[in-house]
Structure 1
Amino acid sequence: MFRNRTDAGSRLASLLREKGIEADVVLAIPRGGLPVGRAVADTLGVPLDVVAARKIGAPSNPELAIGAVASDGTVWLNDSIIDSLDVGDEYVERKRAEEAEAAADKLERYRRDRPPLDLEGKSVLVVDDGVATGATTTACLRQVRDAGAERTILAVPVAPPDTVRKLEDEADEVVCVETPQYFGAVGAFYDDFRQVSDAEAMSYLSDDETGASA
């Protein structure tokens, strides 16, 4: 479906243009969202920055998300799973603090000495290379909204229809190139879905002279 993340970003940018969607800022979710976000930001002619969240895993199964938390502590919790697993408040709060700190550390490492872009009153595009469950995406969208964005738009190349419907409650608009009924995993829709290294991810940010001076 997509050759690689840059191809996906170009196709996503074309769809945004077709829909007449404009933005003041593109925020990519590292690491895989950065090559996609770079293509979108370049096409729209706006700064590129990052937004990050981390999954909060269940006590007995770290891969099972009971929630997610953004770098500023903004949290989304799956109350039904938490209740069914009888996860205690102390565990949730401890993991929330740990994962928020890890997300903040990642952003600081990526931005280096650059301050975050001001989102107050802005139209903000949140971009990733795809969405599966939407847990970390939800936390990112809530952080952007809490930062004062006037309009929050999620733009991704691929996501399952049920996840898109859920995320439409979190964003003002969701734009998705493909919404296959039979999903599996994001990587199944790319010819090249190799892992993006930290160094490569940061290179997409360092290309953004506009964002550095914004």
Structure 2
Amino acid sequence: MSHIFANRHEAGKALADRLVRRGYVDPVVLALPRGGVPVAAVIADALNAPLDLVLVRKIGTPGQPELALAAVVDGDEPQLVVNEDVRRYTGVSDAELEAMKARQLAEIERRRTLYLAGRAKVPVEGRTVIVVDDGIATGATVRAALKGLRRQKPARLILAVPVAPADTLARLRPEVDETVCLETPAPFYAIGFYYLDFTQVDDDEVIDLLARHGRPPAARQQAD
């Protein structure tokens, strides 16, 4: 099976239809940039919820950047989640891993400045937090995001994605209160295989979506 979704907007609509029926209390939608932002924007509209970011970066394997060695999520104490199987295979040292972590934290700070333009983060403590991406493969990046968010004490932590492998979802379930995934193809190929249009999301699109959807819902409706 291929091309389950026409594009990220359609995937967001399909996820939103599922999430709206669940009646979440005081939700906030957090997107993983960049690909998760167009999906999450549709969901935020449907739930009448604020949209914000969870800033996390994959640390790729040297020479194989698409193979996730680890992931880091920002915060007062940045969370590093390591794929130990990949690390044993590659033999990456502690010093090398720390250097890669530092580079990705610098990129996180760049994106925070660029995307949020000084806007305060939406508070998540005591709220229903819905973490959204356009799909999951290994889950290292998402796992880091979830671990970082759990420390911020949400009332409920929900993972919502259009497509992911079943075994990855199973590994992530201990990190969340609920998972919502529309498709779990087997065998699982690259995420883009399940989209007809998987054009890379650029910074300008992220900035535009956050500018339009990052405001409180009442203010957004008044402006529209």
Is the shorter-chain TM-score for this pair beyond 0.5, marking a shared fold? yes
2:106 corresponds to 1:114: no
Question: What amino acid does structure 1 have at the position aligned with 2:74?
Answer: S
Distance in 1, Cα, partners of 2:204 & 2:22: 33
Query: In the TM superposition, what are the counterparts of 1:126-141 in structure 2 within 5 Å?
Result: 126-141=131-146
Residues 79-131 of structure 1, C-alpha deviations (whole Å, 9 max, x = no match): 23223433211111221122122123212210012011111122100001111
Q: How does 1:170-209 map to 2 (within 5 A)?
A: 170-208=175-213, 209=215
Q: Give the secondary structure class of the aligned counterpart of 1:92.
A: helix
Deviation at 1:59, TM superposition (A): 3.5
User: In 2, are the aligned partners of 1:168 and 1:174 still within 8 Å (CA)?
Assistant: yes
Q: CA RMSD in A?
A: 1.8
Which amino acid is the alignment partner of residue 35 of structure 1?
P
Matches of 1:6 and 1:164, distance apart in 2: 22
Question: Does the aligned pair in 2 maintain the 1:41–1:47 contact within 8 Å?
Answer: yes
Q: Which runs of at least 4 in structure 1 moved beyond 4 Å after TM superposition?
A: none
Give the aligned partner of residue 66 of structure 2: 63
Where does 1:1-214 land on structure 2 (aligned, <5 Å)?
1-72=4-75, 73-208=78-213, 209-210=215-216
Return the alpha-carbon distance in structure 2 between the equivalents of residues 145 and 110 of structure 1: 23
SS at match of 2:39: helix
CA distance in 2, matches of 1:183, 1:53: 23
Segments of 5+ residues of structure 2 without an aligned counterpart are: 220-224
For structure 1, the residue ranges without an aligned partner over 5 or more in a row are none
Question: What is the TM-score when the length of structure 1 is the normalising length?
Answer: 0.92
Instruction: Name the SS for the 2:6 alignment partner.
Output: coil
SS in 2 for 1:94: helix
The one-character-per-residue Cα deviations of 1:126-148 (angstroms, maximum 9, x if unpaired) are 00111111111111111111222
Within 1, Cα distance between the matches of 2:87 and 2:218?
Answer: 41
Q: Which moved further from structure 2: 36-45 or 186-195? A: 186-195
1:177 match: secondary structure = strand
Secondary structure of 1:204's partner? helix
Give the letter aligned to residue 143 of structure 2. Answer: T
User: Cα deviation per residue 1:35-92 (whole Å; 9 max; x = unaligned)?
Assistant: 1101000000110001121112234433322111012221111123223433211111
Q: Larger deviation: 15-24 or 104-113?
A: 15-24
CA distance in 2, matches of 1:109, 1:19: 34
* In 1: Cα distance, 2:90 partner to 2:5 partner: 38
Post-superposition shift, 1:17? Answer: 2.2
The answer to whether the 8 A contact 1:156-1:176 is kept is yes
Cα distance change of structure 1 residues 149 and 101 upon mapping to structure 2, 3 Å threshold: farther
Secondary structure of the residue aligned to 1:195 is coil
Which residue identity is paired with 2:180? V
Specify the SS of the correspondent of 1:54. Answer: strand
CA distance in 1 between counterparts of 2:83 and 2:52 reads 28
Percent identity reads 43
Aligned length: 213
Quick one: which amino acid aligns to residue 216 of structure 2? T
Q: Take 1:63 and 1:188, find their aligned partners in 2: how far apart are those partners? A: 15
**Aligned-pair distance for 1:211?**
6.8
Q: Give yes or no for contact 2:131–2:157 (8 Å, CA) kept in 1.
A: yes
